[in-house]
A and B are shown apart, each in its own frame.
Chain A
Amino acid sequence: MSRLKLFVPVIGFFALALLLWRGLYLNTRELPSVLIDKPLPQFEIETVLGSQLVTNQDLPDKIFLLNVWGSYCLPCLVEHPTLMRLSEAGEIPVVGVNYRDRQKLAIDWLDVNGNPFSFSLLDEDGRLGIDLGVYGAPETFLIDRNGVIRYRHVSVLDENIWREIFEPAIAELRAEQVGL
């Protein structure tokens, strides 16, 4: 009996190894956010292009995307065409969070590449980013019409991700809100 006990660590270890192996195939880039199903943090902040302060009241009162970006961020250029298409087609409003960037560089970036955002919150010191639990640009939050965060996507939002994750999620949100 006591000899059998000695095999407990072996079994425990292989359970751990199995877990790690399984973990390799889980999508951990889909980072959890403690803010899921919580309202957006309150803010009163400048925008990149405007001079007056905006608050939560200025956000769209329908489902929208909150996209964290920066002029220094190369992956942001990759997702940029998707965001442009979405906002130009009027499919969904996109609000930007210009994260840890400089206003002048951000303005230039929007000039050169085009501006998909209704407006971009100017988060130079990353304060809002901290409140949102942002790891870095790019990240995209899906916000429902009550200003509640419903989904968080870390890294590039391309057409595939849009089709496979965001479209179903948005359809679900719409159905839910019609139901109410």
Chain B
Amino acid sequence: MSTTSAPDKLRWVGKPVPRVDAVGKVTGATKYMGDLTFPGMLWGRVLRAAHPHALIKSIDTSKAEKVPGVVRVLTHKDVKGLNGYGIAVPDQPVLCHDKVRYMGDAVALVIAETREEAAAALDKIEVVYEPLPVVDDPERAMLPDSPLVHEGGNIHLHTHIERGDVEAGFAASAVIVENTYRLPRQMHAFLEPEQGVGVSDGNGGVTVYCGAQHPYRDQMQISRALGIKPSRIRVVASPVGGAFGGKDEITLQILLAMGALATGRPVKIVLSREESVVAGWKRHPMVIHMRTGAAADGRILAHQVRLVSDTGAYASLGGPVTNLALEGCTGVYRMENILMDGYCVYTNNGVAGAFRGFGQLQANYAMEHQMDLLAEALGMDPVAIRRVNALRGGDVNPLGHTMVENVGALSVLDAAERCDLWARRHELEAEPPSEPWKRRAVGLAVEMQGTGLGVGLPDYGAAKIDLVRGPDGRPRWRVGLSCPEIGQGNSTTYAQMAAEGLECDVGDVEVYVGDTSAGPDSGSCTASRSVYTGGNAIFHAATAMRELLRKKAPAVLGCTEEEAAQAELSEIARAAVAKGITLSADGAFIWPESKYKLQGVFGLPHIINTYIAHVALVEVDVLTGQVEVLRSFAAIDCGKVVNPQGVQGQSEGGMVMGMGYALMEDTLIQGGHTLTKNFSTYIIPTSLDAPLMETVTCESFEPTGPWGAKGVGEAVMVPIAPAIALAIRRATGALMDHAPSTSERVFTKGGVRLGG
């Protein structure tokens, strides 16, 4: 990976510091939450719905309770508080009472001495259902005569955004392109299925060990469902064996807490992969219709969007995802005339929620296709048309926000244009393919990813730093904050930033994350926000700690104020711990928001953006439709790079996950039943599929960021998908308006005709 940046005096930020959690992970010593065992531990199994849409007439657990080894069988009657959860709207039952809305709905929890006994008892629970018509097509679900998934109607959210005059814009346009894009239901496919243990404290309190993305919100949701105070609930959510948004919502936490409190014994639940696939959230499938008009010089004059998002049985984050998708539908471009309607619709097709990219992946796939199609219609270069339209600092963006923050659209576009893949694309495309019936081509796409939760949503973070005496008598700095380590490496970047702020060695910092008892609430590990938010909180806590130490320096060192002012911070810290003094400091940070508010649209606009351009070289077999990505390139503006190796890992992992989205991944659900329940039928990229990858960072300094940093976790998987699809178009002439570009689709749309 290469980086363009000015030299600085930073000692830890920007350096390839080895991960602080890696030794435990390569030795097997790291305990994930499902690896934990406790004396007297019981096993829980969840009874899921037998129909995708049905009324529950009765639930009889008496036979199950008699199965040998069974300790308790819990149903909705045992939910003492609100029988619901959901990050935005708590409309998903903890245990269903009168209705099930998808095959993953939880109906009962069996707790037994062994896994086998719990499984045997599942079959003995008698649930009488009255099946209802299955709502499986979001377009039909919006019609007035559709059966209802929820009584309030199947349209969970309709967002309308209008600026300028699109009709006048279309009338003035030299060309108009209009297409409908269909985007798949991608699965997170984290390697660790949902699992954890609930442990009662014997006194009405409980500890829930369950890998997740926001322990304090989990604590709140458990508290709300159980009707006990948050202070009686400790949540340990870290480390996590991959999440990508799929562990943002409640998974097992409430059931674990209920089981532990009902039995007074530790209760463990481990989902099988099949159960995880059926019950867990997915990326929203969307149908996006776009009509875009441009002047002869390429300027976009009008852009009209209709977007329908299938959120499945429950809301979770379906509303915010729809809104962020609408924002993404404007790309990185200037637009004065827009008319956009987004619908988030309930169906019985599983559940959809947060997933890396959060609606922007679907939107960017559509928008970047529109840009290439406009370029084709106008005879323009794909980079040139993007450059003409790209947002600059000071521009008013399509949603009305004036871009006063760092704007990197042009810098990543320039880097992509200069990269070997794009600069030599004609040469690379003309090179002989590996077989005569294959075609090579290069595609490019660009994106900006809004980070943070957006306008109107509380977005903040806090961190705590303790100075303590280590076992060797030297100062140790304990940094506590709640954003869990979900694999992205935030615990390492936190250690780097703390060491920078505390003027100490990174090895003297201990980071505690993802535990409500170890640090204050720093919010969720989502929305590319954990380094930016947690880092800012650490920056403020470290500043407070430095001031505290400076104030105490004369007393600690036994010298004058003038002499103390000359002392290094490490010297003061050493003297303090030698005297048995321990100190604590807190820091908190509240996200900046746009002053511009959209009427009736929560969460928009976002103002801190990550900018990224991807370029892909593909080889298409025109006889079979099979596509191989040979090489790919990423240019990323994520502000100041805190850990180059970490950014490279994010970039490469993102490119391969985005490649999966472009070429192979779709969770198939038919009539409410999931067809692709494991990795034998849901195929994700392997080591043999990964392309040769190159990453360049176009470093910038975000003034509101910690040491200039922004976020990087989501953008890295976004424009690679349209870049690949646009390369397929260049190779075959086919418009891949229905992702993923499976062999069948590529063959049907652009296959043998070219070969023949």
A associates with B: no
